[in-house]
Structure 1
Amino acid sequence: MTLEDQASRVIAQLNALGRPTFQDVGPQRARKGFEEMPPAGEFVDVASTQDRTIRGPDGNDIAVRIYRPGDGAATADRNGALGCLVYFHGGGWVVGSIETHDRTCRSLTMLAGVVTVSVDYRMAPEDPFPAPPNDCCTATQWVCDNAAELGVDPQRVAVGGDSAGANLAAAVALMCRDGAARGDACAQPALQVLIYPVTDFDRDTHSMIANAEGYLLTRDTMAWFDDLYCPQSQRKNPYAAPLAVDDPSGAAPAFVIVAGHDPLRDEGVEYAQKLADAGVPTTLVEYPGQFHGFFGMTRFLDQAHEAQEITALAMGRALSPALGD
């Protein structure tokens, strides 16, 4: 299928800029350039935001931003406790921040009626695997341990993210499942929201070859991210490559979005199928005419609005209070 009309115009405009690639400029300049890009998402007012710092697993500091939806939120129970989304930003584990994904978090907060906790985890190459998933798992546990203060129900916490952030959300879902199996006091997410997730390090899939160039994320950039993030010796570790897990049964229910013109499309579909085959309730939604990164581009793409709305509906179903609460 060809690109959807609005997507085609956006891609043409981006390609016409002729910007250097991330790998051409290196991590530091790539981060600066990514932060300075004009926001592609619409600004949505929330009731409040709060920036905090929590203690990480290695004594490090983790910055988080907490978004509140205000009175009358759809996930509020009769005591006022809300559902919660712990969100991990995309950017290949190398670029991105709570600032670059602020508008996506604002939108999901209001559409789903949840508290959103956006996590500024450590990034490669300074802090490669396993630092990012360890930070994300710690942040998820912090939300559950501090649920009363945050005004959320610890039984109604989802993890989610886009791209590398979705990889981290999938990893956290597996880490929490494994921790619970060991008898650890580990939070079990009610849902994992995976927006065009990285699930493997195979850069020779059909979608990786077919969409290698011209659709914002390239095959070469993805390989560069991989090399900065994860050593070869760890690339079959399910917390780095969730698709490598032998049996994902018992993991949180999943909501997965993929895009047809995305190098990561096939591994997202394959992971959704692996979850479903293992009995994990899984919903897979594909946007055949879209590209990697479209989800946050609500200023330009009607289908970005639609994708955020159906994601919020899935979150609402998973995080709504039980009858009688």
Structure 2
Amino acid sequence: MAVNRLMRTALRALSYTEVDLGDQYQFQKKIISIANHRHKLPYKVWDHVVAYENHAIPVRIFTPSENESKSILLFFHGGGWVTGFIDSYNRVCASLAEMTGCTVVSVDYRSAPEYRFPAAPEDCYRVAREIFLDSSLFQTEADQITLMGDSAGGNLAAAVSLMARDRGEFLPARQILLYPAAYHDHTDRSPYASARSSEKKYLLTAKRINDYMALYMADEKDLQNPYFAPLASKDFSNQPSTLIITAEHDPLRDEAEDYGRRLEQAGNTVEVHQIPNALHGFFTMPPVFSQVRDCYKIINDFLNAKK
């Protein structure tokens, strides 16, 4: 199926050229920062920090304009663990709050390569731990909190769920993973056809994913760590009720859908939906696009079914 021209044009701003990311990531991040310079925001937000070891983790809280929400979406942004940050997802999180009626808590975890794995998942886990273990923070019980992330953020949401099970301090009831990175190899040796057949038409290519992972990992052994690549896990049991949404034209499509199969085979409740005629990153576009509207319908059906 041909990719909708309007969607392709809108996502061109997210296009990933084939230059060496190791040399260009700072420039790319600066461009994103300029494009998302935070003037007065047209929606209500609160900034907060979570203390962790020798640093503070910024979080930003978005509330729906109507009705006080008791449900929370704990959101981890995308950007390949490298180029994303809290300001670059302001409009996404504001739309998410409005379209779902949930309070959205966006986490500004430490990014690579200045802070390599496991800095990002540890930051995300720390924020989740604070929110899950202290219901007084938002007057919200643990079963009303859903982990959510897109791309690298989807990877982090899955990692936090695995960490929570392994550490035994809390366990999320739900997670929503939007086109998550779940495997460690996106070369021609990948077992996943969507990665092997990746072309420039995808905007995000397999080469670029490998570039991001090279900046993110601290050691080759990280590739086999399930908190780095969730499909490396030897145990997929005792995980949250999971919604996975993939994009038809995305090199991450097959590995994300396989992660859903592994979770389901281990006895978890899983929904996997592939959005036709969609590219990686489509969820960051406004809801005027049909693919984004379809995605929100799936998300709301999932959230409402669990209430």
Q: Would you call these one fold, judging by a TM-score over 0.5?
A: yes
Please state if 1:241 is matched with 2:229.
Answer: yes
Match of 1:65 among 47, 60, 67: 60
Checking the alignment, whether the CA contact within 8 Å between 2:159 and 2:226 is kept in structure 1 is yes
Measured in 2, the distance between the counterparts of 1:235 and 1:158 equals: 27
Q: Give 1:32 deviation, angstroms.
A: 0.9
Q: Which residue of 2 aligns with 1:79?
A: none
- Which residue among 191, 202, 205 is the counterpart of 2:174? 191
**1:90 lines up with 2:73 in the alignment:** no
Partner Cα separation in structure 1 for residue 51 and residue 84 of structure 2: 20
CA distance in 2, matches of 1:224, 1:153: 39
Of residues 111, 116, 123, the one that matches 1:128 is 116
Q: 1:68 to 1:38 in 2, by over 3 A?
A: closer
How far 1:24 sits from its partner (Å)? 6.8
The aligned residue for residue 48 of structure 2 is 52
| Alignment CA distance shift 1:250-1:94 (3 Å) | same
How many residue pairs match? The answer is: 299
Map 1:148-187 → 2, pairs under 5 A: 148-180=136-168, 186-187=169-170
SS in 2 for 1:202: coil
User: Could you tell me which amino acid in structure 2 is paired with residue 49 of structure 1?
Assistant: V
Name the amino acid aligned to 1:68: T
Whole-Å separation in 2 of the counterparts to 1:232 and 1:296: 31
8 Å Cα contact 2:248-2:278 kept in structure 1: yes
Q: Please state how far the C-alpha of 1:71 moved relative to its aligned partner.
A: 5.0
Structure-1 separation of matches of 2:223 and 2:32: 26
TM-score of the two chains, using structure 2 as the length reference: 0.89
Counterpart for residue 206 of structure 2? 219
Is structure 2 residue 191 aligned with structure 1 residue 208? Answer: no
CA contact (8 A) 2:36 2:87 kept: no
The residue identity in structure 2 corresponding to 1:178 is D
- Percent of residue pairs identical: 33
Please tell me whether the aligned partners of residues 18 and 208 of structure 2 are also in contact (alpha carbons under 8 angstroms): no
Deviation at 1:91, TM superposition (A): 0.5
User: Partner residue of 1:259?
Assistant: 247
Partners of 1:61 and 1:151 lie apart in 2 by 23
Root-mean-square deviation (CA), in Å? 2.4
What are the superposed Cα offsets for residues 121-166 of structure 1, whole Å, 9 maximum, x if unpaired?
Answer: 0011011111100000000011123431323222221111000000
d(CA) in 2 for partners of 1:311, 1:93: 24
Q: Given the alignment, which residue of 108, 128, 133 partners 1:140? A: 128
The reply on whether 1:2 has 2:2 as its aligned counterpart is yes
Give the distance between the partners of 2:87 and 2:305, measured in 1 at CA: 28
| AA of the residue aligned to 1:32 | K
CA distance in 1, matches of 2:23, 2:288: 27
Q: Is the 8 A contact 1:113 1:316 kept in 2?
A: no
Segments of 5+ residues of structure 1 without an aligned counterpart are 77-81, 181-185, 321-325
Cα distance in 2 between the residues matched to 1:147 and 1:278: 30
Tell me how far 1:21 sits from its aligned partner: 4.3
TM-score by length of 1: 0.85
Distance 1:176 1:18 in 2: 33
**Unpaired stretches in structure 2, ≥5 consecutive residues:** none
